[in-house]
Amino acid sequence: MTLDDWFDSEAKCLLHGAVDGVGPCARCGSFACPRCVDGHGRCEPCQRREGLDACERTARGVAWKLCVAPTAALLGASVAAKTNPTAALALLPWLVPLALGFVVWRRPNPALAWLGTLTCCGLLAVRVHAAWGGAGWALADVWLLAMPSVAALGGCVELSRQHRALRWVLAA
């Protein structure tokens, strides 16, 4: 270490001690080098933290949308079970997206979010098929249930994108 290095030491990157820092992180103020800093002037640990926060927000958005259709379907099933127990049994697959919704709420996992959303869409398609040609209100009810599921699809795309970006930061 030369005398110049010693005087410069405050301006070194916090993570890569040998590399000159370009400036303080916009979020936490620690010095970051060009390798660490992103387009928003944030250091690597801050990118990771913000990435995780964003992933969790998106996952929760997907999770509650995933739970709407199964909850409505299962409420309907519990009413139907009083008169027709076998019809209620057919609604048990709805427990799958409901359970996945709970898991995704706790852990931002894109694979499980996709699985839950596609299961929801599949079950809705089965319902459309069953209601086709029947009473108009039965279909209206499916379209209402489909809205949060379709919105969840958009959330899944976003979650996958955020998760991929985060993996890149974690691997760096």
**Interface with Zn ion by CB under 5 A: which residues?**
13, 15-16, 25, 27-28, 33, 35-36, 43, 46
Q: Which is nearer to Zn ion, 25 or 124 (CB)?
A: 25
Rounded least distance, CB 22 to Zn ion, Å: 9
- Residue 164 CB, shortest distance to Zn ion, in Å, is 22
b/e 84-121 (16+ beta carbons within 10 angstroms → b): eeeebebbeebebbbbbbebbbeebbbebbbbbbebbb
**Shortest distance, position 34 Cβ to Zn ion, whole Å:** 8
Three-state secondary structure readout of 95-154: HHHHHHHHHHHHCCCHHHHHHHHHHHHHHHHHHHHHHCCCCHHHHHHHHHHHHHHHHHHH
* Nearer CB in complex with Zn ion: 81/169: 169
**Between residues 9 and 84, which has the closer beta carbon with respect to Zn ion?**
9
Closer by beta carbon to Zn ion, 13 or else 68: 13
List 24's β-bridge partners, or say none: 31
| Of 50 and 141, CB closest to Zn ion | 50
- In the complex, least distance from residue 33 CB atom to Zn ion, rounded to whole angstroms: 3
Q: What is the H or E stretch that residue 32 is in?
A: strand 31-32
Nearest partner of 80 among 128, 138, 123, 124, judged by Cα: 138
Shortest distance, position 3 Cβ to Zn ion, whole Å: 23
